């Protein structure tokens, strides 16, 4: 009976120790490591945007049933609608011009981070352009077996509206 009680007490201690470690604050070194990992994903996403590279851009997202995209017009889309919109823009544009103003990474937990990205850009199509000055994006990233992935994307235009220009 003593052995069983001792084993049970040790098991509870180990179990609660694991739970408490998950809630323990991250050290500055741990935050810096995670920030660096997330920043690498953001840089890859930005390069994909600049180069109209759907494959590189999409690789930064976890496009499963949990993915949500709050579009610039306030509508919420799932992964399939996001991919359809993104591929339409990337595949039909002749070029894109993006300027990234700021990137703020907040590490919430060892497996979750929030990124705020401010940028402006223009897609150049054959007969028109679509510009979005002062766009704000909030991204929720989770750590997966394949690295950090965006699971939530919320875009909004800051001080101005979309500007669509007909070239002909």
Average the pLDDT over 15-28 and give the result: 64
* pLDDT value at 127 more than 50: yes
Question: Rg of the chain over CA atoms, in angstroms?
Answer: 21
Query: How far apart are the C-alpha atoms of 119 and 33, rounded to whole Å?
Result: 25
First to last CA, the chain: 88
pTM over 0.75: yes
| Domains in the chain, number | 1
* pLDDT value at 14 more than 90: no
The CATH number of residue 58's host domain is: 3.10.450.50
Residue 132 lies in a domain: yes
Residue span of the structural domain in which 38 resides: 27-166
Q: Across-strand partners of 89?
A: none
Residue 128 lies in a domain: yes
Residue 17 lies in a domain: no
Residue 9 lies in a domain: no
pLDDT value at residue 8: 41
Query: How far apart are the C-alpha atoms of 13 and 165, rounded to whole Å?
Result: 65
């Amino acid at each position: 009976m003593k052995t069983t009680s001792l084993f049970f007490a040790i098991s509870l201690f180990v179990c609660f120790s694991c739970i408490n470690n998950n809630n323990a604050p991250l050290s500055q070194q741990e935050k810096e490591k995670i920030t660096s990992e997330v920043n690498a994903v953001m840089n890859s996403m930005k390069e994909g945007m600049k180069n109209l590279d759907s494959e590189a851009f999409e690789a930064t997202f976890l496009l499963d049933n949990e993915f949500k995209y709050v579009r610039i017009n306030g509508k919420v889309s799932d992964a399939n609608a996001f991919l359809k919109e993104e591929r339409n823009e990337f595949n039909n544009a002749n070029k894109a011009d993006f300027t990234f103003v700021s990137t703020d990474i907040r590490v919430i937990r060892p497996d979750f981070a929030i990124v705020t990205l401010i940028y402006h850009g223009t897609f150049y199509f054959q007969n028109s352009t679509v510009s979005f000055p002062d766009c704000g994006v909030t991204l929720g990233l989770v750590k997966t077996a394949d690295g950090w992935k965006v699971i939530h994307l919320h875009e909004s235009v800051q001080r101005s509206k979309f500007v669509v220009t007909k070239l002909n």
